[in-house]
Structure 1
Amino acid sequence: MNLLMIEDNQSVCEMIEMFFMKEEWDATFKYDGEEGLQAFMDAPDKWDMIILDLMLPKMDGMEVCRAIRKKSKTVPIIMLTARDTESDQVIGLEMGADDYVTKPFSPLTLIARIKALHRRVELLGGRSEEEQSHYEIETKHLKIDRKTRETILYEKPLEGLTPKEFDLLYTMASNPKQVFSREQLLQIVWDYEYFGDERTVDAHIKKLRQKIDVNGPQVIHTVWGVGYKFDDSEIEQ
């Protein structure tokens, strides 16, 4: 993988770099928000993943994340935060981060998160243009090709889904009308324990719904006190 890590603590970067080298990953380190964003903008297709600190000089992680998402909807972003409040983590996810790691963290924890997120992105990777598209999911109004990440809702492409938003929609649409609890979605979509931080799911559902609204009526429904479900069977359009 080719990683861009934006982190102002050079000691942390030096430590993490040793672990990256052991994994045979190429990593570029930038120590303030402006330099980090510029490194991404100079070669947006170069990076397989961004590791982004929340608290940065010159430009904070939230601003950097927002700017990256305007350029790329799909590059995976892991946000690092020293803050303990859930609200900061939820805001980071709403800005477009796919995951977060709270400082202080073990390098092995960060490596595991990177591998888990990269594994899911690779599983959803595209095929060559010559290969014929195949929709694994076809409901009344939705079609999804998991390999090419093509998502058609109301006969229009559903644009700008992040890896986690795509995974959420795919998971629920695979079992229409089935109600998924937040805990179930954490386990299925995130592929590891989140220690009960169910706001992660809510933040991603909110962003997913905003993108669905652009295409037409809402297909993700809240089942109060339980969780969420996908259902487009009653929608006429």
Structure 2
Amino acid sequence: MAEPQSENGRILVLDDDARIRQMLSRYFEDEGYHVTSVGDGNGLRVSLQAATFDIVLLDLMLPGGEDGLSLAREIRASSDIPIIMLTGRDDVVDKIVGLEVGADDYIAKPFHLREVLARVKTVLRRRRPQNPSPPPAASEEVLRFEGWTLDPGRRQLTMADGTAVDLTTGEFDMLLVLARQPGRVFTREMLMELTRARNWEAFDRTIDSQIARLRRKIEPDARRPSLIKSVRGVGYVFTGKRSE
């Protein structure tokens, strides 16, 4: 039997509480979404391999040794799928850590279903393209800096020894925008617009999280960045030296 199609999107819910899974599934299905719900990390992995989703609602506190933060890191290592963290603790530290590992938003339990719906719509609205740009031509200039090679045509970043570094789509686009114009200071708003070309609402943490993940992959010391530097109160600037 063919899987039902949804006009609004596909949601993957991970929560160890069956009542919450059922509540979210019923509510979002009534709102026109297709929902898949699972109770642990293994179910999450199987579902992500079996189907494509528009957003993940991910519980922070899970039994069995895995938690939402580790699963968010795992998802973000290979995918830009939006993630909203759900948690029973309204801890500022947990919230910041969740956003830094790649979550797009954070909702504390108990929550109102209408609030969750509003957050989902906002995140999806930021993510969906309005006027998508065409993919870069294969002949587009290859950028070289500090031993790195950034190839827009192949969408590949390689180290000096030729080893390829895995970047998500968002990380690659962020690095490409910055590396094309070394020395230029970009505000978060400019980076959001240039890397996503989407209808969005100001969400500085999205950019900060993306930069933090990118630094961990390309900087010799992510705590003392030498390629992508912060400009206090403004945004970021690429300071790597270009080479031919």
Q: TM-score normalised by the shorter chain: which range applies?
A: 0.5 to 0.7
Kindly indicate whether residue 202 of structure 2 is the aligned counterpart of residue 193 of structure 1. Answer: yes
Aligned counterpart in structure 2 of residue 60 of structure 1, from 51, 62, 67: 67
> 2:3: which partner in 1?
none
Q: Which residue of structure 1 lines up, in the alignment, with residue 104 of structure 2?
A: 99
**Closer, same or farther in 2 for the Cα pair 1:167/1:222, shift >3 Å?**
same
2:72–2:83 CA contact under 8 A, matched in 1:
no
For residues 187 and 85 of structure 1, the distance between their equivalents in structure 2, rounded to whole angstroms, comes to 30
User: Aligned with 1:177: secondary structure?
Assistant: coil
Distance 2:133 2:94 in 1: 28
Q: Is the 8 A contact 2:60 2:69 kept in 1?
A: yes
CA distance in 2, matches of 1:186, 1:17: 31
Cα RMSD (Å) of the superposition? 3.9
Tell me the equivalent position of 1:39: 43
Residue 62 (structure 1) shift: 1.5
Does the CA contact (< 8 Å) of 1:79 and 1:92 recur in 2? no
- How far apart are 1:208 and its partner, in Å? 0.4
* Structure-1 separation of matches of 2:190 and 2:92: 20
**Structure 1 portions without partners, runs of 5+:** none
Q: Distance in 2 between matches of 1:94 and 1:124?
A: 27
User: What corresponds to 1:90 in structure 2?
Assistant: 96
Are residues 1:16 and 2:24 paired?
Answer: yes
Q: For the structure 1 residues 90 and 200, does the alpha-carbon distance in structure 2 shift closer, same or farther, using more than 3 Å as the test? A: farther
TM-score if structure 2 supplies the norm length? 0.65
Aligned with residue 83 of structure 2, among 70, 78, 86: 78
Aligned: 1:152 with 2:157: yes
For 2:202, the aligned partner's letter is E
Q: Which of the two has higher C-alpha Rg?
A: 2
Offset, 1:85 = 4.2
Shift of residue 179, structure 1, vs aligned partner: 0.4
- Give the counterpart of 1:227 among 215, 230, 235: 235
**2:84 maps to amino acid:** M
Q: Distance in 2 between matches of 1:56 and 1:210?
A: 26
Q: Secondary structure at the match of 2:152?
A: strand
Aligned to 1:111: 121
- Structure 1: how far apart are the matches of 2:100 and 2:90? 17
Separation of aligned partners in 1, 2:141 and 2:19: 47
* Cα distance in 2 between the residues matched to 1:165 and 1:100: 18
CA distance in 2, matches of 1:88, 1:188: 29
Per the TM alignment, residue 98 of structure 1 is displaced from its structure 2 partner at its CA by 4.2
The amino acid that maps onto 2:157 is I
| TM-score (norm. length: structure 1) | 0.67
Does residue 51 (structure 1) correspond to residue 57 (structure 2)? The answer is yes
Q: CA deviation at 1:99?
A: 1.1
**Once the two structures are aligned, what percentage of the paired residues are identical?**
27
For the residue of structure 1 that corresponds to 2:209, the secondary structure is helix
Secondary structure of the equivalent of 1:134? coil
Deviation at 1:165, TM superposition (A): 2.4
* 1:169-201 superposed Cα distances (whole Å, 9 cap, x missing partner): 24334544320234544566573222xxx4553
Q: 1:20 to 1:179 in 2, by over 3 A?
A: same
